[in-house]
Amino acid sequence: MTGLLFTEAEWDFATLDRTYKAIEEIALNDLKLDVYPNQVEIISSEQMLDAYSSLGMPLMYHHWSFGKLFAREDTMYRAGYSALAYEIVINSSPCISYLLEENTMTMQALVMAHAAFGHNHFFKNNYLFRQWTNAEGILDYLAFAKHYISACEERYGRDEVELVLDAAHALMDQGVFRYRRPPKPSRERVLEKRRRRAAYEEEAYNDLWRTLPAGIEPPAAPPTLVDEDEFDGEIKLPEENLLYFIEKNSPTLRGWQREILRIVRNMAQYFYPQRQTKVMNEGCATFVHHTIMNILYDRGLISEGSLLEFLHSHTSVVFQPEFDDRRFGGLNPYALGFAMMSDIRRIAEAPTAEDRDWFPDFAGSGDWVGALKDAWANYRDESFIEQFLSPKLIRDFRLFSLYDKADEGAYRVSAIHDEQGYRKVRSLLARQYDPGIADPNIQVVDADLKGDRTLFLEHKMYRGIPLQHATKDQVVAHIERLWGHDVVLEEVAD
Amino acid sequence: MTYFIDRRLNPKGKSLANRQRFLRRARQQIRDAVQKSLKDSAVADIGKERKIKVSTQGTREPRFRLDPKAAGERDFVLPGNKEFLPGDEIKKPQGGSGGSGKQASDTGEGEDDFEFVMNEDEVLDIFFEDLELPNLVRTTLKETQNKQWKRAGITTSGSPSQINLVRTMRNAQGRRLALRRPSLREVEAMEADLAALEREPQTEEMRAKISALKEKLAYAIARRKWVGFIDPVDVRFNSYTEQPVPTSQAVMFCLMDVSGSMGEREKDLAKRFYMLLHLFLRRRYKKVDIVFIRHTHDAQEVDEQEFFYSRQSGGTIVSTALDKMLEIQRERYTTSDWNIYAAQASDGYTQSGDARRCVEMLNEDVMPLCQYYAYIEILDEREMEVFASEDSGAELWRAYRTVAAEWSNFATKRISKPADIFPVFRELFKKAEA
- Please state the domain extents for chain A: 13-126+277-315, 318-437, 440-493
Evaluate whether residue B31 is within a structural domain.
Answer: yes
Domain count along chain B? 3
Residues of A in contact with B91 (CB under 8 A): 409-410
In chain A, the percentage of residues whose pLDDT exceeds 90 is 46
Evaluate whether residue B222 is within a structural domain.
Answer: yes
- pLDDT computed for residue B50 by the predictor: 66
Residues B233 and B257 in one domain: no
Give me the torsion for CA of B203, B208, B212, B218, rounded to 10°: 70
Residues B266-284 as b/e (b if ≥16 CB within 10 A, e otherwise) read: bbebbbbbbbbbbbbbbbb
Pair type for strands B73-78 and A400-405 = antiparallel
pLDDT per position as a tens digit, B360-404: 888 888 888 887 888 888 887 777 777 766 666 777 888 888 888
Which of A65, A34, A105 is CA-nearest to residue A303?
Answer: A105
Evaluate whether residue B402 is within a structural domain.
Answer: yes
CA–CA dist A138, B219 (Å, integer): 70
pLDDT per position as a tens digit, A11-66: 889 999 999 999 999 999 999 999 999 999 998 888 888 887 777 787 888 888 88
Q: ipTM of the assembly?
A: 0.81
Evaluate whether residue B208 is within a structural domain.
Answer: yes
Asked if B18's CB is within 8 angstroms of A410's CB, the reply is no
A457 — pLDDT class (breaks 50, 70, 90): very high
Residues of B in contact with A23 (CB under 8 A): none
When mean pLDDT is compared across A162-176, A350-364, B100-114, the lowest value belongs to B100-114
Kindly list the strands in the beta sheet with A487-493, ordered across the sheet, starting from the edge strand earlier in the chain. A441-447, A455-461, A487-493
B126 — pLDDT class (breaks 50, 70, 90): low
Considering A454-458, B302-306, B378-382, B395-399, the range whose residues carry the highest mean pLDDT is A454-458
Q: Is A395 on the interface with B (CB under 8 A)?
A: no
In total, the C-beta contacts within 8 angstroms joining chain A to chain B are 270
Evaluate whether residue B262 is within a structural domain.
Answer: yes
CA distances from A162 to A58, A152, A260, A261, A365 (A): 21, 10, 10, 12, 56
CA–CA dist A398, A332 (Å, integer): 14
Evaluate whether residue B154 is within a structural domain.
Answer: no
Asked if B108's CB is within 8 angstroms of A468's CB, the reply is yes
- pLDDT computed for residue B433 by the predictor: 42
- Chain A closest-CA separation from residue B229 CA (Å): 41
Burial status of residue B407 (CB atoms within 10 A of its CB: 0-12, 13-18, 19 or more): middle
The parent domain of residue B412 ranges over 249-428
Question: Does the pLDDT value for residue B252 go beyond 60?
Answer: yes
Residues B218 and B333 in one domain: no
CB B194 within 8 A of CB B210: yes
Which bin fits A398, alpha (ψ -120 to 50), beta or left (φ > 0)? left
Which bin fits B398, alpha (ψ -120 to 50), beta or left (φ > 0)? alpha
CB B52 within 8 A of CB B118: yes
pLDDT per position as a tens digit, A178-224: 876 655 555 666 667 666 766 666 655 544 444 444 444 444 445 44
B136 — pLDDT class (breaks 50, 70, 90): very low
Residues of A in contact with B99 (CB under 8 A): 323, 328
- pLDDT computed for residue A229 by the predictor: 41
Task: Identify the domain boundary among B212, B239, B266.
Answer: B239
CA–CA dist B232, B235 (Å, integer): 6
What's the first-to-final CA gap in chain A, in angstroms?
Answer: 69
B143 — pLDDT class (breaks 50, 70, 90): very low
- Closest partner residue to A475 (CB to CB) among B59, B64, B77 is B64
- Closest partner residue to A37 (CB to CB) among B1, B24, B107 is B1
Which of A273, A24, A26, A27 is CA-nearest to residue A126?
Answer: A273
Asked if B20's CB is within 8 angstroms of A467's CB, the reply is no
Q: Is A360 on the interface with B (CB under 8 A)?
A: no
Residues of A in contact with B116 (CB under 8 A): 71-72, 74-75
- pLDDT computed for residue B3 by the predictor: 76
Interface with chain A: mutation pick from B19, B25, B59, B63, highest number of A CBs within 10 Å: B63
- Chain A closest-CA separation from residue B87 CA (Å): 5
| Residue A300: alpha-carbon gap to chain centroid | 36
Asked if B72's CB is within 8 angstroms of A402's CB, the reply is no
Q: Is A407 on the interface with B (CB under 8 A)?
A: yes
How many of the other CB atoms lie within 10 Å of CB of A480? 14
Evaluate whether residue B195 is within a structural domain.
Answer: yes
Question: Does the pLDDT value for residue B141 go beyond 50?
Answer: no
When mean pLDDT is compared across A128-142, A440-454, B42-56, B126-140, the lowest value belongs to B126-140
Asked if A13's CB is within 8 angstroms of B62's CB, the reply is no
Residues B46 and B169 in one domain: no
pLDDT per position as a tens digit, A251-292: 888 889 999 999 999 999 898 999 899 999 999 999 999 999
Provide the sign of the torsion angle of the four alpha carbons B257, B259, B265, B271, taken in this order.
positive
Residues B389 and B416 in one domain: yes
- pLDDT computed for residue A8 by the predictor: 84
List of residues 6+ apart from A410 with CB closer than 8 A: B89, B90, B91, B92
Instruction: For residue B400, give the CATH number of its domain.
Output: 3.40.50.410
Q: Is A63 on the interface with B (CB under 8 A)?
A: yes
Interface with chain B: mutation pick from A108, A411, A489, highest number of B CBs within 10 Å: A411
Asked if A478's CB is within 8 angstroms of B4's CB, the reply is no
Residues of A in contact with B6 (CB under 8 A): 13, 41-42
pTM equals 0.67
- Closest partner residue to A54 (CB to CB) among B15, B73, B91 is B15
pLDDT per position as a tens digit, B187-201: 999 999 889 888 888
List of residues 6+ apart from A39 with CB closer than 8 A: A94, A95, A96, A97, B2, B3, B5
- pLDDT computed for residue A249 by the predictor: 86
CA–CA dist B213, B193 (Å, integer): 8
Instruction: Annotate B215-261 with DSSP letters as a single string.
Output: HHHHHHHHHHHHS-SS-GGG--EEEEEEEE----EEEEEEEEE-STT
| A 434-453 near B (Cβ less than 8 A) | 438-440, 442
Nearest CA in chain B to A13: B4
Asked if A75's CB is within 8 angstroms of B117's CB, the reply is yes
What's the first-to-final CA gap in chain B, in angstroms?
Answer: 64
CB A23 within 8 A of CB A117: yes
pLDDT per position as a tens digit, B334-346: 877 788 888 888 8
Q: For residues A310 and B277, which has the higher predicted lDDT (pLDDT)?
A: A310
When mean pLDDT is compared across A317-326, A333-342, B245-254, the lowest value belongs to B245-254
Residues of B in contact with A11 (CB under 8 A): none
| Residue A166: alpha-carbon gap to chain centroid | 20
Evaluate whether residue B32 is within a structural domain.
Answer: yes
Residues B385 and B346 in one domain: yes
